[in-house]
Amino acid sequence: MQSVQNTTTFRTAVLSVVKHSYVPLGVASHPRFELVVVADDDSQPEWVHERNALFAEKMGIPYVRDVQRALADYDVQVAVVSSEAERHCDLSVRAAKAGLHIVQDKPMSTRLSECDRLVEVIQANQVKFLLWNRNHLPALIEARQAIQDGAIGQPYAIHLDFYFSKDAGPPKGSRKPGDAPINWLERQREAHADGSDGGVGVQAMGELQIEGIYPLAYLHMLSGWEVERVYTQTATQFHQANVDNEVDDLASVTLEMKGGFLGTLAIGRIGAASHPDIGEIKVHVLGTRGGLVISEARPEVSVYYRGQPAREFRNIRVANDNDYQLMDNFARAIDGNGETDLDAPTGRTITAVVEAAIESGRTGKPVDVV
């Protein structure tokens, strides 16, 4: 007998969509979520309104330059937040206070105090929160299954490689004498066209801060281990924008977990020339009965052809159901079936690991995660 499936549709407000549109589009990939309005604060700069309005037009829904009014007028139950990173938590807090469940883009915030504030409000208002992640990519699902099936025994070490091979503006060393340093926000705005604006915002962020959520979410998903202490090296090796704004574009982290489990993270935005596709993203797990090596990209199909643009990916990921699965998990959580795959306390914990890692990179000493 088939189980009765809840088909309630959640009316969803998009609270700012200045970064990637993939998060609201990912939300809309699930039939239970309907985007009904885009909203942002009227006080935002014009480029923000332009992007919001463009997305609203594309989706055929209204754009309201007043968040509170939109939440009140459009009978929404869910908010999806994809603003600049420094505004993430504030928009999510306002949504939570209005009783909305929230899907939020990464990183959770540029400040741990903001994460704490959001965790508190989420709990107080009994709403669900999902921090966007890649945990439902096929390779990760298979890795988790293999570990759960005991394929390698009890894991004791995990190593994560997360290299994005995108460029991020002019290469390091390209600034001429007398040239002004690259303005972070302006650079990110320019990068919107090719999707390399993951760090959009006024506050400059390194790769640890922008992308660290993804591999650390893998760690959480695959092991459930709690990171207690980190030791980090950071560098700016590739991009002038990172040099000018003193944020890393390459980092290596030793992860020390509760229970004596160990691991490492290698992360960077290493330049488009460094990989034929999006980048080398791998997970290595050692267990008491063997080891597991996973490529996040697989399964994929290779396509080569005459006249192929140099920067076009040669390998195309297939069978990627991440968006739908994330939202299905979110819908089930709203229905009352447990927590989301990456809830607010976990997102806060990951942010704390990233903060500790950045501090360790700055001081050259191991740092406890708080």
User: If binding is defined by CB under 8 A, does position 161 make contact with another protein?
Assistant: yes
Where do we find the tokens 């390399």? 196
Q: Return the bridge partners of 291, or none.
A: 286
Q: Which is nearer to another protein, 150 or 366 (CB)?
A: 366
Q: Which is nearer to another protein, 215 or 271 (CB)?
A: 271
Please report how close the Cβ of residue 274 comes to another protein at its closest, in angstroms.
Answer: 4
User: If binding is defined by CB under 8 A, does position 295 make contact with another protein?
Assistant: yes
Q: How many other CB atoms are found less than 10 A from the CB of residue 93?
A: 19
Question: What are φ and ψ of residue 202, in 5° steps?
Answer: -75, -40
Pick from 68, 271, 264: nearest CA to 169: 271
Pick from 149, 145, 123: nearest CA to 136: 145
Q: Which is nearer to another protein, 221 or 250 (CB)?
A: 250
Q: What is the spatial distance between Cα 16 and Cα 167, in angstroms, rounded to a whole number?
A: 25
Among 233, 299, 314, 328, binds another protein (CB under 8 A): 233
- Count residues binding another protein (CB under 8 A): 42
Answer for the pair 88, 314: CB distance below 8 angstroms, yes or no: no
* DSSP helix, strand, coil percent of the chain (3-state; round to 5): 35, 25, 40
Residues 249-288 that bind another protein (CB under 8 A): 250, 252, 254, 256, 259-260, 262, 264, 266, 268, 270-271, 273-275, 280, 282, 284, 286, 288
Residues 72-91 that bind another protein (CB under 8 A): none
User: If binding is defined by CB under 8 A, does position 156 make contact with another protein?
Assistant: yes
Please report how close the Cβ of residue 266 comes to another protein at its closest, in angstroms.
Answer: 5
Please report how close the Cβ of residue 343 comes to another protein at its closest, in angstroms.
Answer: 26
Q: Which is nearer to another protein, 37 or 272 (CB)?
A: 272
With 0-12 CB in 10 A as exposed, 13-18 as middle and 19+ as buried, what is 288?
A: exposed
Question: What are φ and ψ of residue 231, in 5° steps?
Answer: -135, 130
Which of these ranges, 65-73, 157-165, 190-198, 350-358, lies near another protein under the rule CB under 8 A? Answer: 157-165
How do strand 290-295 and strand 367-368 relate by DSSP bridges? unpaired
Please report how close the Cβ of residue 361 comes to another protein at its closest, in angstroms.
Answer: 10
Q: CA Rg, the chain, in Å?
A: 20
What is the binding site for another protein (CB under 8 A)? 154, 156-157, 159, 161, 163, 165, 172, 231, 233, 235-238, 250, 252, 254, 256, 259-260, 262, 264, 266, 268, 270-271, 273-275, 280, 282, 284, 286, 288-291, 293, 295, 364-366
